[in-house]
Structure 1
Amino acid sequence: MRSRRLFTASLAAPLLIAASLTVVAQASAPPPPAGWSTVWVDDFNGPANTLPSGANWIIDTGHGYPGGPANWGTGEVQNYTNSTNNIGLDGAGNLRITPRRDGAGNWTSARIETQRSNFKPPAGGVLAMESRIQMPNVTGNAALGYWPAFWALGSPYRGNYWNWPGIGEFDIMENVNGINSVWGVLHCGVNPGGPCNETSGLGASRACPGSTCQSGFHTYRFEWDTSISPQQLRWYVDGQQYHSISQSQLPADTWSNMTSHAGYFILLNLAIGGAFPDALNGPTPRAETVPDRPMVVDYVAVTQKGGGTTPPPTSPPPGGGGSAYSTIQAESAQQQSGTGVETTTDTGGGQNLMQVGNGDWALYRGIDFGSTPARQFTGRVASGVGGGASGLVEVRLDSRSNAPIGTFAIGNTGGWQSWRSVPTNISSVTGVHDVYLTFTSGQPADFVNVNWFIFGH
């Protein structure tokens, strides 16, 4: 939600002020369909006038992240607070985010994001992010500047607020100015322009089925499907698909940059003003814009189906072998020098190579790259090294003395179990090869843990 597009399909909607309606929440999120399992859920059940669970949510405050772009990068005008005047449970199973305006015309509202930032599909499976929401019940001139959203950002955005849109953004539900329409958008690649047409993104919109988006609850859902090739992203409202993007529509490096990291965190917010509402009916907000109309959220749920754990148990057998395009567990090396193993807290569990340093190496025999050249390598790594130390993770074929086909640098990631997926380009590879991971550093300290790695086209 960093900057926005101009869609015209919904502009024919009449700008009329809606009457206030009573909203009814479900007691809890519905059980997942057959074949799906729940990864994470918040039903927002709790006493009225209390904040959402601190175990589940971070409450963002102010006009931007520290060191990040002003006005959250979108031009929105409100100040986000952690006051129950702007955000809180209502005691009836809802979270309400309510914009307020003081006597001087200053707006406040709220924005939250999940503590977890590793939501992604199991390899070969499907992940869904879903919420049942009633948009602010206001339309017409009274709604000008309202910008509610339910969305997700790639985890590398945390702490580095200038790597958008390469890390990926899934806008699952956006709406502006009280128009009876839901927008679903993908942001990726580079800004401006690039394969995702930034800053607009690749989007679609439609009216809410049945009741308007503003007058009733609707279910907004996003699915990331890795069970098919090419992979697919899909957007739904009340179970009706209205937008999809295929992996084949984007360059391989663009897709990898937004999918090979640890995953995504989910956000809910209600902005006032900014690039998107201004593009349709700007400038906003105006004197006619009314405060105090909340976005009402019944639940947020993350579910998955298919696949295995993340990463899946697809390591080569003890004697070697296996596909370069299946996840290779680092601890499955047939030979190694200088490394040990330990239990990992990374998603999927298992073990990792631990505290690897200069001169260490690990060998994976008989890895099959097939006839289509592999051009990318992604390693799942973590580091708690101190003193500004860092090192190189190198990929070599058939002999440790051969030149690396690919390399990436890694320093402290925040801890020996603070994991991130790091992609790098490699020289084209086909056929069957022994793969060596070698590690080089100018400092004597161990500098990296490795959980798994995978190759890509």
Structure 2
Amino acid sequence: AGTYSVGFRVASPASGGRIEVRSSSGAVLATVEVPSTGAWQTYRTVSVPVALAAGTQTLQLVSRAGGWNLNWLEIGGASAPAAGPVAPAGKALPGLVQAEAYDAMSGVQRETTADAGGGQNIGYVDDGDWVDYRVSVASAGTYSLALRAASPNGTGSIEVRSSSGATLATVPVPATGGWQTYATLRATVTLPAGEQTLRLFAPRGGWNLNWF
């Protein structure tokens, strides 16, 4: 038993496809957003974490939104559970999360940032790309969200999504003056307490993100 990185080799001429990974009982273990790869036979690997029980079992892939091809899936090594008390695995919120410290992604790349503080940002974001972050929220409530983003064109947008796929906030990304000229964008999100996954989804790409 453990949490496995599962890679899906997918192709689609348009974004919007969605695959659910379900257990033998029908429980949803993960949701895979299928990005636009350029064509029906232009493949890209999208990886997501999936918690699996030990032993023989059946996994079901359910198409929640079609329009994609699948060549193969690959299950990587497990992160074995530690013995005894375990500290929360998610990044603590309220708090600052570096964009490059994602737990799963589709399409983005890390690069050196010119923003204050140095380090890395995520970039090369196309329509339909996404990044997932495991977080631990101290208490339920409405939070102020700051996103440190850059864009030369001002046509991009970022959706903040919950573990269930619900959209919590949509943040337009304005023209900031260049790929490495950053501005802090603000929104509000309502979050439950505890461990959860937040997804930053790009309905429209063309932006970099340093932190949130």
The two structures have a TM-score, normalised by structure 1, of 0.26
Report the residue type matching 1:432 in the other structure: E
Partner of residue 392, structure 1: 157
Measure, in 1, the Cα distance between the counterparts of 2:89 and 2:100: 12
Deviations along 1:306-328, whole A, 9 cap, x unmatched? xxxxxxxxxxxxx9512121210
Partner of residue 62, structure 2: none
* Aligned equivalent of 1:326, options 89, 95, 98: 95
Deviations along 1:116-164, whole A, 9 cap, x unmatched? xxxxxxxxxxxxxxxxxxxxxxxxxxxxxxxxxxxxxxxxxxxxxxxxx
Q: Is the contact made by 2:89 and 2:136 (CA closer than 8 Å) also made in structure 1?
A: no
Partner of residue 174, structure 2: 411
Partner of residue 139, structure 2: 371
Deviations along 1:157-190, whole A, 9 cap, x unmatched? xxxxxxxxxxxxxxxxxxxxxxxxxxxxxxxxxx
Give the match's secondary structure for 2:93: coil
Q: Is the contact made by 2:90 and 2:196 (CA closer than 8 Å) also made in structure 1?
A: no
Q: What stretches of structure 1 of length at least 5 have no aligned partner? A: 1-318
Q: Is the contact made by 2:127 and 2:202 (CA closer than 8 Å) also made in structure 1?
A: yes
Give the match's secondary structure for 1:416: coil
* Aligned equivalent of 1:356, options 116, 121, 125: 125
Please report how far the alpha carbon of residue 375 of structure 1 lies from its aligned counterpart in structure 2 after TM superposition: 2.4
Q: Is the contact made by 2:140 and 2:190 (CA closer than 8 Å) also made in structure 1?
A: no
Measure, in 1, the Cα distance between the counterparts of 2:192 and 2:149: 23
The two structures have a TM-score, normalised by structure 2, of 0.55
Q: What stretches of structure 2 of length at least 5 have no aligned partner? A: 1-87
Please report how far the alpha carbon of residue 370 of structure 1 lies from its aligned counterpart in structure 2 after TM superposition: 1.5
Measure, in 1, the Cα distance between the counterparts of 2:91 and 2:206: 28
Give the match's secondary structure for 1:432: strand
* Aligned equivalent of 1:424, options 180, 184, 187: 187
Q: How does 1:274-353 map to 2 (within 5 A)?
A: 320-353=89-122
Measure, in 1, the Cα distance between the counterparts of 2:158 and 2:106: 15
Q: How does 1:38-117 map to 2 (within 5 A)?
A: none
Q: Which one has the bigger strand percentage?
A: 2
Measure, in 1, the Cα distance between the counterparts of 2:195 and 2:90: 9
Report the residue type matching 2:189 in the other structure: I
Report the residue type matching 1:394 in the other structure: E
Q: Higher Cα Rg: structure 1 or 2?
A: 1
Partner of residue 450, structure 1: 209
Measure, in 2, the Cα distance between the counterparts of 1:393 and 1:359: 10
Give the match's secondary structure for 2:183: strand
Measure, in 2, the Cα distance between the counterparts of 1:423 and 1:377: 6
Report the residue type matching 1:358 in the other structure: D
Identity level (%): 34
Q: Is the contact made by 1:411 and 1:448 (CA closer than 8 Å) also made in structure 2?
A: no
- Given the superposition, is the C-alpha separation of residues 320 and 436 from structure 1 closer, same or farther in structure 2, using an over 3 Å criterion? farther
Measure, in 2, the Cα distance between the counterparts of 1:407 and 1:350: 26
**CA-atom RMSD, angstroms?**
1.8
Q: Is the contact made by 1:320 and 1:364 (CA closer than 8 Å) also made in structure 2?
A: no
Runs of 4+ in 1 over 3 A off after TM superposition: none
Measure, in 2, the Cα distance between the counterparts of 1:364 and 1:326: 13
Measure, in 1, the Cα distance between the counterparts of 2:188 and 2:142: 9
Measure, in 2, the Cα distance between the counterparts of 1:326 and 1:425: 14
Q: Is the contact made by 2:99 and 2:211 (CA closer than 8 Å) also made in structure 1?
A: yes
Partner of residue 439, structure 1: 202
Give the match's secondary structure for 1:356: coil
Please report how far the alpha carbon of residue 336 of structure 1 lies from its aligned counterpart in structure 2 after TM superposition: 0.5
Report the residue type matching 1:328 in the other structure: V
Give the match's secondary structure for 2:138: coil
- Given the superposition, is the C-alpha separation of residues 356 and 434 from structure 1 closer, same or farther in structure 2, using an over 3 Å criterion? same
Partner of residue 20, structure 1: none
Measure, in 1, the Cα distance between the counterparts of 2:131 and 2:89: 12
Matched, 1:380 2:145: no
Partner of residue 17, structure 2: none
Give the match's secondary structure for 1:331: coil
Q: Is the contact made by 1:398 and 1:435 (CA closer than 8 Å) also made in structure 2?
A: yes
Q: Is the contact made by 2:142 and 2:188 (CA closer than 8 Å) also made in structure 1?
A: no
Deviations along 1:408-429, whole A, 9 cap, x unmatched? 1013210001101111022343
Q: Which one has the bigger helix percentage?
A: 1
Structure with the larger RCO, 1 or 2 (CA within 8 Å, 6+ apart): 2
- Given the superposition, is the C-alpha separation of residues 428 and 326 from structure 1 closer, same or farther in structure 2, using an over 3 Å criterion? closer
Partner of residue 253, structure 1: none
